Chains A and B, each alone.
Chain A
């Protein structure tokens, strides 16, 4: 970049040209037909976060999550200290949704319709007047879903026989996630919002800093500076479908007085928790999760596709231990309020982006080299979609 001065060296155009340099087709960012292909090619056959282990802390804990992107409702149960299971939240009698609560503690679940009752390990325990049926109870267990845990995050895969295990799928990202506060978390704060926009447009907003100075002139002041006016990252890395960036930090940033006082509290507790104070990495986990791994502003954002034009974002700040004193409680609330301010400012442009594209006005969109992560996400999505289409057209087994 021409206007960068010594002190910050942006990633060069050549460094990321291997991802491609052509314009990207616009259709995948709004077309319902493409979203249906993504469901089949990605969301029904890829490891995806379903929650965190601290949500199911003890034997008997359970959580239910809706995966609109796969038309599925998923029940995750903790059977014992060492065993977590996941099932389709569907009674095996006639398909009724089994559990309506989003979380709780219960070791058995009764269907509201005919009282078929299941253990949290999935077996059918009892069903009224069962000898009138023509099946064995042993064949009526809940439909199991592959589940595994990394860095405290619980992942599921809706493919009945996943191509890869979770660790293999995450590759080198697994170890990086294990180093974040999330991996040791026992509690979290959370906020949720929906946008009228495609999930990739929502995700992409958080994969580039090109917009930062325009949309976050005040809240983003700390993240750019004269050496790096756009606040571009120091580095990008790509690990199969996953990607990382190392966030640049402005050495000359001057926090406001109250903000400085609050940041000092945040930093004090980060150090007390022995967090890694040096790493400033962002981890984009395919398909729909990213984690900012810095010690003092760590959060995860879970981007849940609902429809081609609707997305729910769930943002979490993970904490190690409960609030143990007033200062820690204040520091956590300040971190929550700080993160929320940044997120709220992006909403309008994400929706405006979808509206513009859905008009059909454009055949292509353009990504610059500092939007490399956006291009990488598109490449990884489209590669899977095209492979799925090819399999279907050749009549191959795509189940």
Chain B
């Protein structure tokens, strides 16, 4: 059974690794992942983002079903992984070395205290 809404099958292999519940986890997955993992995820997802957001925008967050919730979390991980793949490129290992000292303590997407 599919973990994501119809039309987003190319992202299925990335649900386990990248559908993460907090911004800090999403950033840490970016920092901990191999370049090949990041590139595979980014390349599979980059052109699907507009369609995914258009689909998810049709409902409020409360109305999202579990498949839509996973898709939302993947889109949020794309925001992190795009920095690494598209902008940092081969500087990413050096960047990741320093970024690990940062903790995201609050994010608008998260359930904050």
List residues of A whose CB falls within 8 A of some B CB: 103, 187-194, 217-219, 221, 256-259, 261-262, 265, 319, 322-327, 329-330, 332-334, 336-338, 340-341, 343-345, 347-348
A340 touches B75 (CB 8 A): no
List 28 A–B pairs whose Cβ atoms lie within 8 Å, in order of A's numbering. Answer: A187-B108, A189-B104, A190-B106, A191-B102, A191-B105, A217-B91, A219-B83, A256-B86, A258-B49, A323-B61, A323-B108, A323-B109, A326-B57, A326-B72, A327-B53, A330-B53, A330-B75, A330-B79, A333-B23, A333-B107, A336-B79, A336-B107, A337-B80, A340-B99, A341-B83, A341-B95, A344-B98, A344-B102
A347 touches B98 (CB 8 A): yes
B76 touches A219 (CB 8 A): no
Chain A interface, >50% SS class: helix
B103 close to A (CB within 8 Å): yes
B109 touches A329 (CB 8 A): yes
Please name all residues of chain A whose beta carbon is closer than 8 Å to the beta carbon of B105 when the two chains form the complex.
Answer: 190-192
Q: How far is the CA of A219 from the CA of B103 in the complex (A)?
A: 19
Please name all residues of chain A whose beta carbon is closer than 8 Å to the beta carbon of B56 when the two chains form the complex.
Answer: 325-327
In the complex, what residue of chain B is closest to A104 when comparing beta carbons? B113
Q: How far does the Cβ of B57 sit from chain A's closest Cβ, in whole Å?
A: 5
B33 close to A (CB within 8 Å): no
Instruction: Pick the most buried of B27, B61, B72, B107: most chain A CB atoms within 10 A of its CB.
Output: B107
A258 touches B82 (CB 8 A): yes
B50 close to A (CB within 8 Å): yes
Given contacts A326-B52, A327-B57, A333-B80, 4 further A-B contacts (CB under 8 A): A190-B106, A262-B82, A333-B79, A348-B98
A344 touches B101 (CB 8 A): yes
A343 touches B102 (CB 8 A): yes
Please name all residues of chain B whose beta carbon is closer than 8 Å to the beta carbon of A257 when the two chains form the complex.
Answer: 46, 86
A337 touches B108 (CB 8 A): no
Please name all residues of chain B whose beta carbon is closer than 8 Å to the beta carbon of A332 when the two chains form the complex.
Answer: 107-109
Query: Size class of B's contact patch?
Result: 35 or more
Q: How far does the Cβ of A310 sit from chain B's closest Cβ, in whole Å?
A: 13
A338 touches B83 (CB 8 A): yes
B49 touches A261 (CB 8 A): yes
Q: How far is the CA of A322 from the CA of B113 in the complex (A)?
A: 14
B34 close to A (CB within 8 Å): no
Q: How far is the CA of A258 from the CA of B42 in the complex (A)?
A: 10
Choose from A259, A330, A336 the contact partner of B87 (Cβ within 8 Å). Answer: A259
| A219-B88 contact, Cβ under 8 Å, with A190-B106, A192-B105 | yes
In the complex, what residue of chain A is closest to B86 when comparing beta carbons? A256
Q: How far does the Cβ of A291 sit from chain B's closest Cβ, in whole Å?
A: 18
| A326-B98 contact, Cβ under 8 Å, with A218-B89, A258-B86, A259-B82 | no
Choose from B79, B87, B104 the contact partner of A190 (Cβ within 8 Å). Answer: B104
| A333-B88 contact, Cβ under 8 Å, with A187-B108, A348-B98 | no
Choose from B79, B82, B89, B113 the contact partner of A103 (Cβ within 8 Å). Answer: B113
A345 touches B95 (CB 8 A): yes
Please name all residues of chain A whose beta carbon is closer than 8 Å to the beta carbon of B46 when the two chains form the complex.
Answer: 257-258
